[in-house]
């Protein structure tokens, strides 16, 4: 498991970790049923506090990307709740599109960016 943490970033470490795992799911580095490293193991591997890893795993669980199995630990389990994901994505995109509009980024440029990013994830439809 390759996790890249930028210790100089303004983004919280647990959010960086969360984002790296979500990107791993989207790019098929992690699959449904894959077991993530234990909190202690991952913390030691990337050199961060165990509480930080635990917080990232908790957020991922709340967002429906992992489930916690008493024997296995954190397991990739992408939530079936597509409707909720669509609502959250809509809200996130509102802010992103407002920022793009303020910077005079056109609809066509936004669509091109979306297509480019989707291609990175194997052309999901």
Residues 1-37: tens digit of each pLDDT: 788 899 999 999 999 999 999 999 888 899 889 999 9
Which range has highest mean pLDDT (49-53, 72-76, 87-91)? 49-53
Residue of 64, 85, 84 lying closest to 74 (CA atoms): 64
- If asked whether residues 58 and 110 sit together in one domain, one would say no
Residues 30 and 62 in one domain: yes
The residue segments making up the domain with residue 24 are 13-76
**β-strands 66-69, 73-76: how paired?**
antiparallel
Q: Are residues 50 and 90 in the same domain?
A: no
CA angle 46, 71, 37 (to 5 degrees): 15
Do 71 and 18 reside in the same domain of the chain?
A: yes
The pTM (predicted TM-score) of the whole model is 0.72
Q: How many domains, the chain? A: 2
- The residue-averaged pLDDT of 60-74 equals 90
């Amino acid at each position: 498991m390759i996790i890249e943490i930028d210790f100089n970033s303004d983004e919280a470490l647990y959010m960086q970790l969360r984002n790296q795992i979500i990107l791993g799911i989207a790019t098929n580095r992690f699959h449904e049923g894959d077991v993530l490293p234990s909190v202690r193991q991952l913390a030691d591997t990337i050199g961060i506090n165990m509480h930080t890893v635990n917080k990232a795993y908790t957020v991922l669980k709340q967002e429906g990307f992992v489930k916690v199995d008493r024997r296995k630990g954190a397991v990739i389990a992408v939530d079936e709740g597509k409707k909720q994901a669509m609502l959250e994505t809509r809200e996130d995109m509102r802010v992103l599109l407002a920022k793009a509009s303020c910077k005079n980024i056109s609809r066509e440029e936004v669509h091109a960016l979306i297509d480019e990013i989707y291609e990175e994830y194997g052309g999901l439809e």
